[in-house]
């Protein structure tokens, strides 16, 4: 069983800067409190094939996560796939970025969550929780990106 959550939000920064910010997964702890630690492998600019390894804390339990960048089309598209062997994984996800006339950026985020083993019983709850939090998650990304990227 799988399910998808998504959200769309606007960032008051130019599309190229927002793309660069989101493509560097090391920024994730700025907007995702569940991310305890993250590293980029190799430690060089993000390209297709770059891996982000993290430790996350969900429902009081820590787990190791590994995401590989599968597509990178500056400044409009970022895709990833989780290679971790956890009970619930984001088998695919991504950002679509669109420049707006006023120099802002519209961002669409999605993740497809998949259950494995006992996770097949839990994935429905995980998807429901992610869908409920999606607007707030978008707001956390917007706030973090605007704080990290200098105004134009």
Crossing angle of helices 15-23 and 119-148, in 10° steps, is 130
Distance, in Å, from the CA atom of 110 to the CA atom of 68, rounded to the nearest integer, reads 15
Identify the band that residue 121 occupies on the pLDDT scale cut at 50, 70 and 90: very high
**pLDDT, tens digit, for every residue of 79-96?**
999 999 899 999 999 999
DSSP-derived secondary structure for 78-105: EEEEE---SSEEEEEEEEEEEE-TTS-E
What integer pLDDT is reported at residue 34 of this predicted model?
A: 94
**pLDDT, tens digit, for every residue of 1-60?**
799 999 999 999 999 999 999 999 999 999 999 999 999 999 999 999 999 999 999 878
Predicted TM-score (pTM) of this structure: 0.95
Question: Of 54, 45, 51, which is closest to residue 20 (Cα–Cα)?
Answer: 45
- As a whole number, mean pLDDT of residues 64-74 equals 97
Name the DSSP class of 141: H
Distance, in Å, from the CA atom of 31 to the CA atom of 124, rounded to the nearest integer, reads 24
């Amino acid at each position: 069983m799988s399910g998808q959550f998504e959200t769309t939000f606007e960032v008051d920064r130019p599309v190229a800067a927002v793309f660069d910010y989101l493509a560097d997964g090391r920024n994730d702890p700025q907007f995702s409190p569940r991310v305890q630690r993250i590293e980029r492998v190799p430690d060089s600019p993000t390209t297709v094939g770059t891996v982000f390894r993290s430790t996350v804390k969900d429902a009081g339990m820590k787990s190791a996560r590994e995401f590989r960048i599968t597509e990178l089309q500056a400044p409009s598209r970022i895709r990833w796939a989780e290679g971790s062997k956890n009970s619930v994984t984001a088998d695919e996800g991504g950002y679509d970025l669109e420049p707006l006339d006023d120099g802002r950026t519209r961002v669409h985020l999605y993740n497809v969550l998949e259950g494995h083993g006992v996770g097949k019983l839990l994935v429905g709850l995980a998807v429901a929780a992610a869908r409920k939090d999606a607007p707030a998650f978008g707001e956390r990304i917007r706030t973090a990106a605007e704080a990290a990227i200098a105004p134009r």
